[in-house]
Chains A and B, each alone.
Chain A
Amino acid sequence: MRLGVAHEAGFAVAMTSSIAIVLFGGELPGFAWLVCLAPLVSLLLATRDIRPPALSATLVGVASIALGIVTVARGGIESSVLAGGELLMGLLTARLLVRRTQAHDMQALSLSLLLVLTGSVLNVKITYLPVFVVYAVTAVWALSTRQLLAGAAAVVGDERDRAVVRARKDVVTPAFFGATGLISLAVLASAAAVFALFPRVGFGDIGAFLHKDSSLPGSVGLRGDPRLSGGSAVVARLRDVPRDAFLRGLYLRGAVYDVINLDGFSQTARLDEERAGGKIELVEPPLRTRYEVTVMPVVGDTLLSLGDITALRVVGGGNANPNVPMSYNGRSVLDESKAVAPLRSAMRYIVVGGVAAPGLVPRGAKRPVHGLSAAARARYLKLPDAFDDRLRDLVQTALGDAAASGAAVDKAARLRAFFLDNFRYSQEPPRFATSPLRTFLFDERQGHCEFFASAYAMMLRGAGVPARVVGGFQGGAWDDGVVVFAERNAHAWVEWWDDDAGWVVDDATPLATAPREELSGLSTALERVRRFWDDTILDYSLQDQVDGISQAKSALSGLKRTARVLVALMALLLIVPGVVAALLLRRRRRARGAAAVHPLARAIVDAVARATRAPVPAEQTVREAVEGARVDAALAAALRAALSLYEAERFGGAHPPAVVVKRAAKALRTAARNR
């Protein structure tokens, strides 16, 4: 392969893969994928020797800076990494458009490296690894070929000579492929070694960035699209969940919303009962079950759980920085489970507590520990300001004769039946004539879970039952004892208060009763690859390192005495010959010296030294050594012959064949030995 072609090919693939790392993980708009064409365009321009004006690169660079500023302005400081990725992609495109010198190639490669590092923050998915490997291999390829071209360009004169160098076919051979392949392998292996072995000790969390905006926001409007609809990104994995609980339907509880109005639902900014700072008081439900949750950093500081929590222990992650340990901070006044700080990386924790589902009340707890305070009851009964007679009549109609009975459970059953019988699930947003909720209830009678949850909670409050909306994830997919919740499982449902049973989970959304998903075939394989990535790469921590060392130690201590001796002997067999070989090599190198001496000159000096039994002084020339040596006639003749050959080559411009030189040196050595 021609050297120039090899360089351009490796360069283009490295650039494309560095851009792809960000595009795969950065949640950028679809048109951003057009940037992948930049390396191809650059390749075409380079091969056809077309040089666009520098102004085009300047315009692209300025546009990328503007795009980065807009991204930060819209998304806040949390979007700064994404903005950095956009900016770097723009600058790389600009550099690729106007690429004229070897220095420009190096700048593009540096930008691509920065892009890959930005992708390390943005791309937490399994797609990172294959693209990263492609980048590492092709970057080594591009760098090494560039190094050859740059070195040659520094020595050869004009452009025509450089074209000759680029066209050379004897450099990029199978051996070159092998060498660069080995280099790539070495780089990747040592990068993996650094990753695995370097202790995760840090100096504090000064400026971490969130990966994405929280998917459990403080307020939800009903005028937009439903949150996270259709997303396949994994949000959480649950292990050790009973199979029958999964089949009954799991509700992974997250945010709780106490304010309901006709445009959506939200949380009260600050509650009177909330104490600033300090630990939040725990409600203590009876012990139920134990399960493990691995959650991605998309939920802010809210910890997902299947119901009430008796105990929660953070196993690892969250910050992945041992200086900033993550822990459980208890439940807020709104009954949300909270961590001490927002999650910045995947976190694993073990929960002991209940598994709540619609229609179930916590067993063994006829009355909640603390009941419902008057302030809380008032908050959860508060109706929207625009709750008028028409809405009140609708509640009464839906309740029927249950309005008079007064039992919360009866009222809830009637209202749930009202929604399940008369409404249809749809992700198409309603055409808003007045307010979204009013349109949903009186005109469209179809909507997604947020409509059902907010309308159901509002009507429960209208019927005198304290109620609230809960945001989280529902259903999930079962795979070999692990329940996987993805973005598409995002859901909103209702909790209402029963004086005997406490908060009861309820759901009036028709689709919530759909059959549970079981992973199979390709989905299982994909999920297992993703799980391997999340468990072994993203969730890798100091604890894993300590565990690994402990396992190695225990494995070693578990060996019998003879096995231990064998291991020690093997280590010695490897180390001792290595040390001996290194010492021998060093001695040999010292004996030979570092000077580059003509082989004939060395042979002459050696012969003289052997004949006179004294070393030749370093300041003597070869001729002086020969003329000053007192040797017999045969050796003197051989010395003169070798000297004349040496001087003819060294100073006379003659170039005798190597074999002649070797033969003369050998003859000299023989003469010196036979003396």
Chain B
Amino acid sequence: MAVKGASGYARLFMPGERVKEKDTFTCNHCQKVRGIKPGNNPYEGVGDLCYGCDEPVCEWCARRLAMGFKCEVFEKALERYEARERFRASL
């Protein structure tokens, strides 16, 4: 069963060893992938839950939120980036 909050799954295969497995989440603000562990706070040490979008974010984006920056989901940043590049290409 996947760890609460996980969206991905990572496996490392080494000859002669048991497969090392880890659930992962993708930061909803910048798309960094982080491994998580079971427990009350699966994001401890690798991120936090954003109360703006109710999705996990990586430690860097969690720090930005703690500094007072607002929640900005990746889709929003992507739309802005694509619009800017479309404008630049049209010049």
Partners in one complex: no
- List residues of A whose CB falls within 8 A of some B CB: none
